[in-house]
Structure 1
Amino acid sequence: MAVTGAVMVGFLLAHMIGNLKIFLGKEDFNEYAHALRTLFEPLLPYRTALTILEIGLVVAVVAHMWAAITLARRAAKARPVKYVAKKSQATGYATHIMRFGGLTILLFLVWHLLDLTFGVVNPKGFDSAPADRMVAGFDPSRWWVTLIYLVAVVMVGMHLRHGVWSAFQTLGWANRDRNKVLRAASAVISLVLVVGFLAPPLAITFGVIK
Protein backbone atom coordinates (compact mmCIF):
# COMPACT_ATOMS: atom_id res chain seq x y z
CA MET A 1 0.00 0.00 0.00
CA ALA A 2 2.76 2.42 1.00
CA VAL A 3 5.03 1.58 -1.95
CA THR A 4 2.30 1.89 -4.60
CA GLY A 5 1.18 5.12 -2.96
CA ALA A 6 4.72 6.48 -3.19
CA VAL A 7 4.83 5.62 -6.90
CA MET A 8 1.62 7.59 -7.48
CA VAL A 9 2.87 10.56 -5.44
CA GLY A 10 5.97 10.65 -7.63
CA PHE A 11 3.79 10.62 -10.74
CA LEU A 12 1.59 13.41 -9.37
CA LEU A 13 4.59 15.62 -8.64
CA ALA A 14 5.99 15.11 -12.15
CA HIS A 15 2.58 15.64 -13.73
CA MET A 16 2.01 18.83 -11.72
CA ILE A 17 5.35 20.29 -12.81
CA GLY A 18 4.50 19.51 -16.42
CA ASN A 19 1.06 21.13 -16.14
CA LEU A 20 2.59 24.33 -14.75
CA LYS A 21 4.48 24.78 -18.04
CA ILE A 22 1.25 26.19 -19.47
CA PHE A 23 2.18 29.42 -17.66
CA LEU A 24 5.28 29.65 -19.87
CA GLY A 25 3.09 29.67 -22.97
CA LYS A 26 1.33 27.20 -25.25
CA GLU A 27 4.47 26.48 -27.25
CA ASP A 28 6.44 25.44 -24.16
CA PHE A 29 3.58 23.25 -22.98
CA ASN A 30 3.28 21.56 -26.40
CA GLU A 31 7.04 20.98 -26.49
CA TYR A 32 6.84 19.33 -23.08
CA ALA A 33 4.00 17.07 -24.25
CA HIS A 34 5.95 16.20 -27.42
CA ALA A 35 9.08 15.42 -25.36
CA LEU A 36 7.10 12.88 -23.34
CA ARG A 37 5.97 11.12 -26.50
CA THR A 38 9.44 11.06 -28.04
CA LEU A 39 11.25 10.03 -24.87
CA PHE A 40 14.31 7.83 -25.63
CA GLU A 41 13.89 8.10 -29.40
CA PRO A 42 15.35 6.69 -31.59
CA LEU A 43 16.23 3.85 -29.20
CA LEU A 44 12.52 3.31 -28.66
CA PRO A 45 9.66 3.92 -31.12
CA TYR A 46 7.40 6.96 -30.77
CA ARG A 47 5.43 7.02 -27.49
CA THR A 48 6.82 3.65 -26.32
CA ALA A 49 8.47 4.99 -23.16
CA LEU A 50 5.35 6.99 -22.24
CA THR A 51 3.16 3.94 -22.78
CA ILE A 52 5.41 1.87 -20.49
CA LEU A 53 5.15 4.56 -17.82
CA GLU A 54 1.36 4.67 -18.20
CA ILE A 55 1.11 0.89 -17.87
CA GLY A 56 3.28 1.06 -14.76
CA LEU A 57 0.99 3.72 -13.30
CA VAL A 58 -2.11 1.61 -14.01
CA VAL A 59 -0.44 -1.37 -12.31
CA ALA A 60 0.36 0.83 -9.30
CA VAL A 61 -3.25 2.08 -9.10
CA VAL A 62 -4.70 -1.45 -9.35
CA ALA A 63 -2.20 -2.77 -6.79
CA HIS A 64 -3.02 0.13 -4.47
CA MET A 65 -6.74 -0.64 -4.69
CA TRP A 66 -6.09 -4.35 -4.18
CA ALA A 67 -3.99 -3.58 -1.11
CA ALA A 68 -6.72 -1.33 0.30
CA ILE A 69 -9.41 -3.99 -0.16
CA THR A 70 -7.16 -6.74 1.22
CA LEU A 71 -6.23 -4.72 4.31
CA ALA A 72 -9.88 -3.80 4.95
CA ARG A 73 -10.94 -7.45 4.76
CA ARG A 74 -8.05 -8.52 6.99
CA ALA A 75 -8.99 -5.89 9.56
CA ALA A 76 -12.63 -7.00 9.51
CA LYS A 77 -11.65 -10.64 10.05
CA ALA A 78 -9.26 -9.73 12.84
CA ARG A 79 -12.06 -8.01 14.77
CA PRO A 80 -15.50 -9.31 13.79
CA VAL A 81 -17.01 -7.63 16.88
CA LYS A 82 -17.09 -3.83 16.87
CA TYR A 83 -15.18 -1.81 19.44
CA VAL A 84 -17.16 -0.92 22.57
CA ALA A 85 -15.56 2.51 22.69
CA LYS A 86 -16.63 4.79 19.86
CA LYS A 87 -13.91 5.85 17.43
CA SER A 88 -12.85 9.47 17.48
CA GLN A 89 -14.34 11.80 14.89
CA ALA A 90 -10.87 12.38 13.44
CA THR A 91 -10.30 8.67 12.86
CA GLY A 92 -13.76 8.17 11.34
CA TYR A 93 -13.29 11.23 9.14
CA ALA A 94 -9.95 9.98 7.83
CA THR A 95 -11.43 6.54 7.11
CA HIS A 96 -14.30 8.01 5.09
CA ILE A 97 -11.93 10.25 3.17
CA MET A 98 -9.68 7.32 2.24
CA ARG A 99 -12.55 5.05 1.17
CA PHE A 100 -14.94 7.40 -0.62
CA GLY A 101 -12.19 9.79 -1.64
CA GLY A 102 -10.42 6.96 -3.45
CA LEU A 103 -13.59 6.11 -5.40
CA THR A 104 -14.14 9.78 -6.28
CA ILE A 105 -10.56 10.10 -7.48
CA LEU A 106 -10.91 6.97 -9.64
CA LEU A 107 -14.06 8.28 -11.33
CA PHE A 108 -12.43 11.67 -11.88
CA LEU A 109 -9.36 10.01 -13.38
CA VAL A 110 -11.54 8.35 -16.02
CA TRP A 111 -13.11 11.71 -16.91
CA HIS A 112 -9.71 13.43 -16.90
CA LEU A 113 -8.30 10.90 -19.40
CA LEU A 114 -11.36 11.15 -21.67
CA ASP A 115 -11.11 14.95 -21.60
CA LEU A 116 -7.46 15.96 -21.77
CA THR A 117 -5.65 12.80 -22.90
CA PHE A 118 -7.96 11.20 -25.46
CA GLY A 119 -10.07 14.29 -26.24
CA VAL A 120 -13.31 12.29 -26.33
CA VAL A 121 -15.27 14.85 -24.28
CA ASN A 122 -13.02 17.81 -25.08
CA PRO A 123 -14.32 20.54 -27.45
CA LYS A 124 -11.07 20.45 -29.46
CA GLY A 125 -10.95 16.66 -29.88
CA PHE A 126 -7.99 14.29 -29.96
CA ASP A 127 -6.21 15.78 -33.01
CA SER A 128 -5.70 19.18 -31.37
CA ALA A 129 -2.52 20.36 -29.66
CA PRO A 130 -2.25 19.50 -25.93
CA ALA A 131 -2.24 23.18 -24.91
CA ASP A 132 -5.36 23.86 -26.97
CA ARG A 133 -7.13 20.92 -25.33
CA MET A 134 -6.24 22.19 -21.88
CA VAL A 135 -7.43 25.75 -22.59
CA ALA A 136 -10.63 24.47 -24.21
CA GLY A 137 -11.22 22.02 -21.38
CA PHE A 138 -11.29 24.77 -18.75
CA ASP A 139 -12.88 27.48 -20.88
CA PRO A 140 -15.04 29.89 -18.81
CA SER A 141 -18.14 28.53 -20.58
CA ARG A 142 -17.30 25.11 -19.06
CA TRP A 143 -17.03 26.43 -15.50
CA TRP A 144 -18.69 23.28 -14.22
CA VAL A 145 -15.70 21.23 -15.44
CA THR A 146 -13.37 23.48 -13.43
CA LEU A 147 -15.65 23.07 -10.41
CA ILE A 148 -15.53 19.26 -10.72
CA TYR A 149 -11.76 19.44 -11.12
CA LEU A 150 -11.47 21.66 -8.03
CA VAL A 151 -13.51 19.27 -5.86
CA ALA A 152 -11.61 16.23 -7.15
CA VAL A 153 -8.18 17.79 -6.59
CA VAL A 154 -9.13 18.83 -3.05
CA MET A 155 -10.23 15.23 -2.45
CA VAL A 156 -6.86 14.07 -3.79
CA GLY A 157 -5.14 16.42 -1.35
CA MET A 158 -7.13 15.14 1.62
CA HIS A 159 -6.56 11.54 0.55
CA LEU A 160 -2.88 12.26 0.06
CA ARG A 161 -2.39 14.01 3.40
CA HIS A 162 -3.65 11.01 5.33
CA GLY A 163 -2.04 8.54 2.93
CA VAL A 164 1.46 10.04 3.14
CA TRP A 165 1.27 10.09 6.93
CA SER A 166 0.11 6.46 6.96
CA ALA A 167 2.97 5.54 4.62
CA PHE A 168 5.49 7.12 7.02
CA GLN A 169 4.06 4.93 9.78
CA THR A 170 3.97 1.80 7.63
CA LEU A 171 7.58 2.24 6.54
CA GLY A 172 8.63 2.63 10.17
CA TRP A 173 9.80 6.24 9.88
CA ALA A 174 7.36 7.69 12.39
CA ASN A 175 8.20 7.96 16.09
CA ARG A 176 7.62 10.44 18.90
CA ASP A 177 10.55 12.59 17.88
CA ARG A 178 9.60 12.75 14.19
CA ASN A 179 5.80 12.79 14.32
CA LYS A 180 5.37 16.56 14.18
CA VAL A 181 7.82 16.93 11.33
CA LEU A 182 6.32 14.06 9.33
CA ARG A 183 2.77 15.31 9.86
CA ALA A 184 3.86 18.74 8.65
CA ALA A 185 5.59 17.16 5.66
CA SER A 186 2.40 15.26 4.77
CA ALA A 187 0.40 18.49 4.90
CA VAL A 188 2.96 20.43 2.85
CA ILE A 189 3.18 17.75 0.14
CA SER A 190 -0.59 17.59 -0.23
CA LEU A 191 -0.95 21.40 -0.20
CA VAL A 192 1.74 21.86 -2.86
CA LEU A 193 0.03 19.33 -5.12
CA VAL A 194 -3.42 20.84 -4.63
CA VAL A 195 -2.22 24.39 -5.38
CA GLY A 196 -0.07 23.20 -8.28
CA PHE A 197 -2.85 21.24 -9.95
CA LEU A 198 -5.50 23.94 -9.42
CA ALA A 199 -3.39 26.86 -10.67
CA PRO A 200 -3.66 26.11 -14.44
CA PRO A 201 -7.44 25.41 -14.64
CA LEU A 202 -8.30 28.39 -12.43
CA ALA A 203 -6.00 30.66 -14.46
CA ILE A 204 -7.71 29.51 -17.67
CA THR A 205 -11.24 29.81 -16.27
CA PHE A 206 -10.59 33.36 -15.02
CA GLY A 207 -8.94 34.47 -18.26
CA VAL A 208 -5.32 34.72 -17.10
CA ILE A 209 -4.37 32.09 -19.69
CA LYS A 210 -6.13 32.16 -23.07
Structure 2
Amino acid sequence: MALATRGTDQRPSMTRTLWGSTIGKKTVMAVSGLIMLGYLVAHMLGNLKIFFGAPEFNGYAHWLRTLGEPVLHYEWALWILRVALVVAVVLHAVCAYQLSRRDRAARPVGYAHKRARATYATRTMRWGGIILALFIVWHILDLTTGTAHPGGFQPGHPYQNVVDTFSTWYGNVIYIVAMLALGLHILHGFWSAAQTLGVGSAARERALKASAGVLAFALTAGFISIPVAVMTGVVS
Protein backbone atom coordinates (compact mmCIF):
# COMPACT_ATOMS: atom_id res chain seq x y z
CA MET A 1 0.00 0.00 0.00
CA ALA A 2 2.86 2.37 0.87
CA LEU A 3 4.51 1.72 -2.47
CA ALA A 4 1.28 2.43 -4.32
CA THR A 5 0.82 5.67 -2.42
CA ARG A 6 4.33 6.85 -3.30
CA GLY A 7 3.70 6.01 -6.94
CA THR A 8 0.51 8.03 -7.13
CA ASP A 9 2.19 11.02 -5.42
CA GLN A 10 4.81 11.34 -8.16
CA ARG A 11 3.86 14.35 -10.23
CA PRO A 12 5.77 16.15 -12.97
CA SER A 13 7.58 19.27 -11.80
CA MET A 14 6.29 22.72 -12.69
CA THR A 15 9.28 23.20 -15.01
CA ARG A 16 8.54 19.99 -16.92
CA THR A 17 4.85 20.88 -17.11
CA LEU A 18 5.67 24.35 -18.45
CA TRP A 19 8.18 23.01 -20.98
CA GLY A 20 5.81 20.28 -22.13
CA SER A 21 2.86 22.56 -22.81
CA THR A 22 2.31 24.61 -25.95
CA ILE A 23 1.73 27.81 -24.00
CA GLY A 24 4.88 27.09 -21.99
CA LYS A 25 6.99 26.77 -25.13
CA LYS A 26 5.46 29.95 -26.55
CA THR A 27 6.30 31.74 -23.30
CA VAL A 28 9.91 30.52 -23.46
CA MET A 29 10.08 31.71 -27.07
CA ALA A 30 8.64 35.10 -26.11
CA VAL A 31 11.02 35.67 -23.18
CA SER A 32 14.12 34.44 -25.04
CA GLY A 33 13.12 36.55 -28.04
CA LEU A 34 12.81 39.67 -25.91
CA ILE A 35 16.24 38.98 -24.38
CA MET A 36 17.75 38.77 -27.86
CA LEU A 37 15.86 41.88 -28.94
CA GLY A 38 17.30 43.85 -26.03
CA TYR A 39 20.77 42.71 -27.05
CA LEU A 40 20.16 43.71 -30.68
CA VAL A 41 19.15 47.25 -29.70
CA ALA A 42 22.29 47.65 -27.57
CA HIS A 43 24.44 46.02 -30.27
CA MET A 44 23.13 48.32 -32.99
CA LEU A 45 23.70 51.45 -30.88
CA GLY A 46 27.24 50.29 -30.18
CA ASN A 47 27.88 49.53 -33.85
CA LEU A 48 26.78 53.02 -34.87
CA LYS A 49 29.81 54.38 -33.01
CA ILE A 50 31.76 53.44 -36.14
CA PHE A 51 30.51 56.72 -37.66
CA PHE A 52 32.55 58.62 -35.03
CA GLY A 53 35.85 57.17 -36.21
CA ALA A 54 38.28 54.41 -35.35
CA PRO A 55 39.35 55.68 -31.86
CA GLU A 56 35.71 55.89 -30.69
CA PHE A 57 34.74 52.49 -32.11
CA ASN A 58 37.86 50.68 -30.93
CA GLY A 59 37.51 52.31 -27.51
CA TYR A 60 33.95 51.03 -27.24
CA ALA A 61 35.08 47.50 -28.17
CA HIS A 62 37.81 47.67 -25.50
CA TRP A 63 35.29 48.92 -22.90
CA LEU A 64 33.11 45.87 -23.55
CA ARG A 65 36.05 43.63 -22.63
CA THR A 66 36.81 45.51 -19.43
CA LEU A 67 33.18 45.77 -18.33
CA GLY A 68 32.78 44.83 -14.67
CA GLU A 69 36.43 45.30 -13.70
CA PRO A 70 37.89 45.05 -11.12
CA VAL A 71 35.12 42.80 -9.71
CA LEU A 72 35.21 40.69 -12.88
CA HIS A 73 38.32 39.72 -14.80
CA TYR A 74 39.05 40.86 -18.34
CA GLU A 75 36.29 39.73 -20.78
CA TRP A 76 34.34 37.87 -18.06
CA ALA A 77 31.26 40.09 -18.44
CA LEU A 78 31.43 39.69 -22.22
CA TRP A 79 31.57 35.90 -21.91
CA ILE A 80 28.67 35.88 -19.45
CA LEU A 81 26.67 37.86 -22.00
CA ARG A 82 27.69 35.47 -24.79
CA VAL A 83 26.67 32.40 -22.81
CA ALA A 84 23.31 33.96 -21.91
CA LEU A 85 22.70 34.77 -25.57
CA VAL A 86 23.62 31.26 -26.69
CA VAL A 87 21.16 29.82 -24.16
CA ALA A 88 18.45 32.21 -25.38
CA VAL A 89 19.11 31.35 -29.04
CA VAL A 90 19.08 27.59 -28.37
CA LEU A 91 15.87 27.73 -26.31
CA HIS A 92 14.23 29.93 -28.96
CA ALA A 93 15.22 27.61 -31.81
CA VAL A 94 14.26 24.40 -29.99
CA CYS A 95 10.83 25.76 -29.02
CA ALA A 96 10.22 27.03 -32.55
CA TYR A 97 11.08 23.60 -34.00
CA GLN A 98 8.95 21.69 -31.49
CA LEU A 99 5.96 24.00 -31.92
CA SER A 100 6.24 23.63 -35.69
CA ARG A 101 6.21 19.83 -35.31
CA ARG A 102 3.15 20.01 -33.08
CA ASP A 103 1.37 22.27 -35.53
CA ARG A 104 2.00 19.82 -38.38
CA ALA A 105 0.97 16.83 -36.27
CA ALA A 106 -2.31 18.54 -35.37
CA ARG A 107 -2.96 19.26 -39.06
CA PRO A 108 -1.59 16.22 -40.96
CA VAL A 109 -3.79 16.82 -44.01
CA GLY A 110 -3.05 19.98 -45.97
CA TYR A 111 -5.67 22.59 -46.70
CA ALA A 112 -7.83 21.81 -49.75
CA HIS A 113 -7.48 25.37 -51.02
CA LYS A 114 -4.15 27.12 -50.79
CA ARG A 115 -4.49 30.75 -49.80
CA ALA A 116 -2.55 33.36 -47.93
CA ARG A 117 -3.40 32.92 -44.26
CA ALA A 118 -0.85 35.29 -42.75
CA THR A 119 1.47 38.17 -43.52
CA TYR A 120 4.66 37.71 -45.52
CA ALA A 121 6.69 38.09 -42.33
CA THR A 122 4.71 35.31 -40.64
CA ARG A 123 5.09 32.91 -43.56
CA THR A 124 8.86 33.47 -43.70
CA MET A 125 9.56 33.16 -39.97
CA ARG A 126 10.97 29.65 -40.36
CA TRP A 127 13.32 30.45 -43.24
CA GLY A 128 14.20 33.74 -41.62
CA GLY A 129 15.26 31.87 -38.48
CA ILE A 130 17.46 29.52 -40.51
CA ILE A 131 19.06 32.44 -42.36
CA LEU A 132 19.78 34.20 -39.07
CA ALA A 133 21.24 31.06 -37.49
CA LEU A 134 23.65 30.62 -40.42
CA PHE A 135 24.48 34.34 -40.31
CA ILE A 136 25.36 34.19 -36.61
CA VAL A 137 27.88 31.41 -37.31
CA TRP A 138 29.44 33.38 -40.18
CA HIS A 139 29.44 36.63 -38.20
CA ILE A 140 31.31 35.02 -35.29
CA LEU A 141 33.85 33.37 -37.60
CA ASP A 142 34.34 36.67 -39.41
CA LEU A 143 34.55 39.36 -36.70
CA THR A 144 35.07 37.44 -33.44
CA THR A 145 37.48 34.59 -34.16
CA GLY A 146 38.72 35.95 -37.51
CA THR A 147 38.61 32.45 -39.04
CA ALA A 148 36.50 33.51 -42.04
CA HIS A 149 37.70 37.10 -42.15
CA PRO A 150 38.79 38.44 -45.55
CA GLY A 151 42.45 39.40 -45.56
CA GLY A 152 44.35 39.61 -42.31
CA PHE A 153 42.26 39.73 -39.15
CA GLN A 154 43.63 42.26 -36.65
CA PRO A 155 42.81 41.47 -33.00
CA GLY A 156 42.15 44.68 -31.08
CA HIS A 157 41.31 46.64 -34.24
CA PRO A 158 37.56 46.05 -34.78
CA TYR A 159 37.15 49.22 -36.86
CA GLN A 160 39.54 48.00 -39.55
CA ASN A 161 38.10 44.48 -39.39
CA VAL A 162 34.60 45.82 -40.06
CA VAL A 163 35.86 47.93 -42.98
CA ASP A 164 37.66 44.89 -44.42
CA THR A 165 34.50 42.76 -44.25
CA PHE A 166 32.29 45.31 -45.95
CA SER A 167 34.90 46.03 -48.60
CA THR A 168 33.97 42.65 -50.13
CA TRP A 169 30.83 42.11 -52.21
CA TYR A 170 29.93 38.85 -50.44
CA GLY A 171 30.32 40.39 -46.99
CA ASN A 172 27.78 43.06 -47.93
CA VAL A 173 25.37 40.59 -49.52
CA ILE A 174 25.42 38.19 -46.56
CA TYR A 175 25.00 40.98 -44.02
CA ILE A 176 22.24 42.88 -45.81
CA VAL A 177 20.20 39.74 -46.58
CA ALA A 178 20.50 38.65 -42.95
CA MET A 179 19.43 42.08 -41.68
CA LEU A 180 16.37 42.09 -43.95
CA ALA A 181 15.47 38.65 -42.58
CA LEU A 182 16.01 40.03 -39.08
CA GLY A 183 13.60 42.90 -39.73
CA LEU A 184 10.85 40.52 -40.87
CA HIS A 185 11.56 38.25 -37.91
CA ILE A 186 11.23 41.12 -35.44
CA LEU A 187 8.12 42.47 -37.18
CA HIS A 188 6.21 39.28 -36.46
CA GLY A 189 8.15 38.01 -33.44
CA PHE A 190 7.75 41.13 -31.29
CA TRP A 191 4.01 41.14 -31.83
CA SER A 192 3.77 37.38 -31.28
CA ALA A 193 5.69 37.69 -28.00
CA ALA A 194 3.38 40.48 -26.85
CA GLN A 195 0.34 38.32 -27.60
CA THR A 196 1.80 35.38 -25.68
CA LEU A 197 2.61 37.49 -22.63
CA GLY A 198 -0.70 39.36 -22.80
CA VAL A 199 -1.17 42.70 -24.55
CA GLY A 200 -4.23 43.87 -22.64
CA SER A 201 -6.59 46.39 -24.22
CA ALA A 202 -7.23 47.10 -27.91
CA ALA A 203 -5.37 50.40 -27.56
CA ARG A 204 -2.27 48.58 -26.33
CA GLU A 205 -2.64 46.10 -29.18
CA ARG A 206 -2.56 48.90 -31.76
CA ALA A 207 0.37 50.56 -30.00
CA LEU A 208 2.36 47.30 -29.92
CA LYS A 209 1.70 46.64 -33.60
CA ALA A 210 3.00 50.10 -34.44
CA SER A 211 5.98 49.62 -32.11
CA ALA A 212 6.85 46.33 -33.81
CA GLY A 213 6.98 48.07 -37.19
CA VAL A 214 9.06 50.99 -35.92
CA LEU A 215 11.47 48.71 -34.06
CA ALA A 216 11.92 46.36 -37.03
CA PHE A 217 12.58 49.28 -39.39
CA ALA A 218 14.95 51.07 -36.99
CA LEU A 219 17.07 47.98 -36.33
CA THR A 220 17.20 46.96 -39.98
CA ALA A 221 18.11 50.46 -41.14
CA GLY A 222 20.64 50.93 -38.34
CA PHE A 223 22.51 47.70 -39.05
CA ILE A 224 22.41 48.08 -42.85
CA SER A 225 23.70 51.67 -42.65
CA ILE A 226 27.16 50.36 -41.72
CA PRO A 227 27.92 48.28 -44.86
CA VAL A 228 26.33 51.02 -46.96
CA ALA A 229 28.61 53.58 -45.32
CA VAL A 230 31.68 51.45 -46.08
CA MET A 231 30.56 50.86 -49.68
CA THR A 232 30.02 54.58 -50.27
CA GLY A 233 33.25 55.66 -48.58
CA VAL A 234 31.59 57.44 -45.66
CA VAL A 235 33.43 54.98 -43.39
CA SER A 236 36.87 53.93 -44.57
- Residue 48 of structure 1 corresponds to 76
Letter in 1 for 2:211: A
Q: How does 1:24-103 map to 2 (within 5 A)?
A: 24-84=52-112, 86-91=114-119, 93-103=120-130
Deviates more, 1:114-123 or 1:47-56: 114-123
- Structure 1 residues 128, 37: CA separation in 2 closer, same or farther (over 3 Å shift)? closer
- Residue 34 of structure 2 corresponds to 6
- Residue 202 of structure 1 corresponds to 228
Per-residue displacement from partner, 1:110-167 (whole Å, max 9, x unpaired)?
111111111112223153511111111111xx12211221111001101110111111
Letter in 1 for 2:56: D
The whole-number CA distance in structure 2 between the counterparts of 1:200 and 1:94 is: 24
- Residue 19 of structure 1 corresponds to 47
- Residue 147 of structure 2 corresponds to 120
Q: Gaps (5+ residues) in structure 2?
A: 1-28
Q: TM-score, normalised by structure 2?
A: 0.82
Letter in 2 for 1:44: L
Query: Could you say what the CA RMSD is over the residues aligned between the two structures, in angstroms?
Result: 1.7
- Residue 105 of structure 1 corresponds to 132
SS at match of 1:45: coil
Question: 195, 199, 220: which is aligned to 1:169?
Answer: 195
Q: How does 1:109-148 map to 2 (within 5 A)?
A: 109-122=136-149, 123-139=151-167, 142-148=168-174
Q: How does 1:177-196 map to 2 (within 5 A)?
A: 177-196=203-222
Q: TM-score, normalised by structure 1?
A: 0.92
Shift of 1:53: 0.5
Shift of 1:199: 1.1
Contact map agreement 2:51 2:235 (CA 8 A) in 1 = yes
Contact map agreement 1:168 1:174 (CA 8 A) in 2 = no
SS at match of 1:207: coil
The whole-number CA distance in structure 1 between the counterparts of 2:169 and 2:126 is: 27
Percent of counterpart pairs with the same letter?
48
Letter in 2 for 1:173: V
The whole-number CA distance in structure 1 between the counterparts of 2:204 and 2:113 is: 28
Contact map agreement 2:179 2:220 (CA 8 A) in 1 = yes
SS at match of 1:23: helix
Contact map agreement 1:120 1:126 (CA 8 A) in 2 = no
Letter in 1 for 2:66: T
Q: Which has the larger radius of gyration?
A: 2
Shift of 1:182: 1.6
Contact map agreement 1:174 1:182 (CA 8 A) in 2 = no
